[in-house]
């Protein structure tokens, strides 16, 4: 059976893993056509993806790159677009399955374009739920779109969530990142290179920094709450350095179901692409005798305050999670540009949230009722975070 897919964010780590899965399934004889692909500003990566996938449409996020993109893709028989409208067009084109892997809030509008036409969306973009969780879930329900989680933790829960009404709690596992055992003093002088050196996963720079602060796990906690309908009190986080167990589901009879696999994003991607079936992919098979032991520890709330910030934002409501995500994007960008220190990331986010909570506008006092309101909260949080990060940089 022929399938049509699109990949939003094809040049990132998730996009590249998706290409690998598609290549392997095509080699097995499966007919997979690619409707559209998108990239940020990585033209070299986009050209390579178009050569491999042969999509009908390709888009870059920067409008000024349209001519350059057309020249780079000349001869590949692909229609080319640029800018936000082109990214949304990529989501709106008639693919039955869409990988949503654009990093950050920029992925929301293109993913919503796919949701509004009732597509099956493989969701690797956290911000769709963190920024606009209730609205996004309701839009998917209203338009008949199916959401399949691709984050390894949420995909793991999805695989073993057999009786949602009989669940006591969920447990998300965290590797602990590169600073799991580092002192406060070491983290205070950490460089972007050190923060991006993840011990288990190969990821983009933004998500790698989020993993180093454990903000990534906090965002996943928020995502799990919106995606599976469990409150903050019913979701735990545990540090599991081997990254073998990807999440656990605890049932009312005392049973705990865990999904286990080697740390390879091709596994959840293949699961989402083949669902409700399973595809054969050449990932390394799990060998517990080689691993030897699996260890677990509670996250250190003092050294990693991001988890507490995320839990508090989730309890405060959807506007607070929107603001948290936006402020974090700005803070991580400032850290990667070496304008602020590693520990300043969470400080910037916390101070931005405090500022918005105290604002007379009451912008984050109530949950947004429209995507325009989500955008307004996002802008306000970014403005606050930029001011705070600027003050920290000047100190």
Q: Is the pTM of this model over 0.85?
A: yes
* Same domain (yes/no): 202, 277: yes
22 part of a folded domain: yes
Rounded average pLDDT over 265-280? 96
Q: How many domains does the chain have?
A: 3
41 part of a folded domain: yes
* Same domain (yes/no): 86, 22: yes
How far is residue 245's CA from residue 378's CA, in Å, rounded to a whole number? 34
113 part of a folded domain: yes
The CATH number for 69's domain is 3.40.50.720
Cis peptide before 360 (omega within 30 of 0): no
* Same domain (yes/no): 247, 277: yes
Q: Radius of gyration over alpha carbons of the chain, in Å?
A: 20
Flag whether pLDDT at 360 surpasses 70: no
Exposure of 145 in the CB half-sphere (CA atoms within 13 A): 28
161 part of a folded domain: yes
Q: Which residues contact 338 (CB under 8 A, 6 or more apart)?
A: 191, 192
Percent of the chain with pLDDT over 90: 88
Domain boundary among 149, 171, 204: 149
Give the pLDDT of residue 365. Answer: 77
Per residue in 50-96, pLDDT (tens digit) is 999 999 999 999 999 999 999 999 989 999 999 999 999 999 999 99
Per residue in 190-232, pLDDT (tens digit) is 999 999 988 777 778 888 999 999 999 999 999 999 999 999 9
264 part of a folded domain: yes
Contact 306, 152 (CB under 8 A): no
Contact 387, 356 (CB under 8 A): no
132 part of a folded domain: yes
301 part of a folded domain: no
* Same domain (yes/no): 7, 143: yes
Give the pLDDT of residue 174. Answer: 95
The residue whose two tokens read 């001869």 is 75
Quickly count: other Cβ atoms within 10 Å of residue 369's Cβ.
11
Structure tokens at 165: 């009404």
* Same domain (yes/no): 266, 171: yes
Per residue in 128-146, pLDDT (tens digit) is 898 889 999 999 999 999 9
* Same domain (yes/no): 70, 132: yes
Burial (CB count within 10 angstroms: exposed 0-12, middle 13-18, buried 19+), residue 66: middle
* Same domain (yes/no): 103, 31: yes
Percent of the chain with pLDDT over 70: 98
* Same domain (yes/no): 158, 114: no
Domain boundary among 149, 164, 189: 149
- Cross-strand bridge partners of residue 34: 5
* Same domain (yes/no): 11, 98: yes
- Cross-strand bridge partners of residue 33: 4
* Same domain (yes/no): 129, 61: yes
* Parent domain of 54: 3-149
111 part of a folded domain: yes
* Same domain (yes/no): 115, 216: no
Q: Which residues contact 323 (CB under 8 A, 6 or more apart)?
A: 313, 352, 353, 356, 363, 364, 377, 378, 380, 381
Flag whether pLDDT at 281 surpasses 80: yes
Domain boundary among 127, 149, 171: 149
* Same domain (yes/no): 112, 201: no
Contact 323, 349 (CB under 8 A): no
What is the 3-class SS of 9-43, one letter each residue? CCCCHHHHHHHHHHHHHHHCCCCEEEEEEEECCCH
Burial (CB count within 10 angstroms: exposed 0-12, middle 13-18, buried 19+), residue 168: middle
Residues in the chain: 395
Rounded average pLDDT over 378-386? 95
């Amino acid at each position: 059976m022929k399938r049509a897919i699109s990949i939003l964010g094809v040049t990132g780590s998730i996009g590249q893993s998706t290409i690998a899965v598609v290549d392997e399934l095509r080699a097995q004889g499966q007919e997979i056509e690619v409707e559209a692909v998108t990239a940020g500003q990585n033209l070299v990566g986009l050209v390579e993806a178009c050569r491999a996938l042969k999509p009908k449409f390709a888009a870059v996020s920067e409008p000024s790159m349209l001519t350059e993109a057309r020249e780079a893709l000349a001869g590949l028989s692909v229609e080319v677009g640029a800018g936000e409208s082109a990214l949304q067009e990529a989501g709106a084109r008639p693919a039955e399955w869409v990988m949503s892997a654009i990093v950050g809030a920029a992925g929301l509008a293109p993913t919503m374009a796919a949701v509004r036409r009732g597509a099956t969306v493989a969701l690797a973009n956290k911000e769709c739920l963190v920024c606009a969780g209730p609205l996004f879930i309701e839009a998917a329900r209203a338009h008949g779109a199916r959401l399949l989680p691709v984050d390894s933790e949420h995909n793991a829960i999805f695989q073993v969530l057999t009786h949602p009404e009989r669940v006591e709690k969920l447990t998300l596992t965290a590797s602990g990142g590169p600073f799991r055992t580092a002192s406060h003093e070491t983290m205070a002088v950490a460089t972007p290179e050190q923060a991006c050196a993840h011990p288990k996963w190969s990821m983009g720079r933004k998500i790698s920094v989020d993993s180093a602060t454990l903000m990534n796990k906090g965002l996943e906690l928020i995502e799990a709450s919106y995606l599976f309908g469990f409150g903050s009190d019913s979701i735990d986080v545990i540090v599991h350095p081997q990254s073998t167990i990807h999440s656990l589901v605890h049932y009312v009879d005392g049973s705990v179901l865990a999904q286990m696999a080697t740390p390879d994003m091709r596994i959840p991607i293949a699961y989402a692409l083949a669902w409700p079936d399973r595809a054969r992919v050449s990932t390394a098979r799990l060998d517990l005798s080689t691993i030897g032991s699996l260890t677990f520890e509670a996250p250190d709330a003092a050294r990693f305050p991001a988890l507490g910030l995320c839990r508090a934002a989730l309890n405060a409501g959807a506007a607070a999670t929107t603001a948290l995500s936006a402020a974090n994007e700005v803070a991580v960008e400032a850290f990667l540009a070496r304008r602020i220190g590693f520990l300043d990331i969470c400080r910037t986010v916390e101070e931005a949230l405090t500022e918005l909570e105290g604002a007379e506008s009451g912008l984050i006092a109530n949950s947004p009722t429209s995507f325009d309101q989500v955008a307004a909260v996002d802008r306000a949080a970014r403005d606050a975070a930029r001011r705070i990060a600027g003050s920290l940089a000047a100190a």
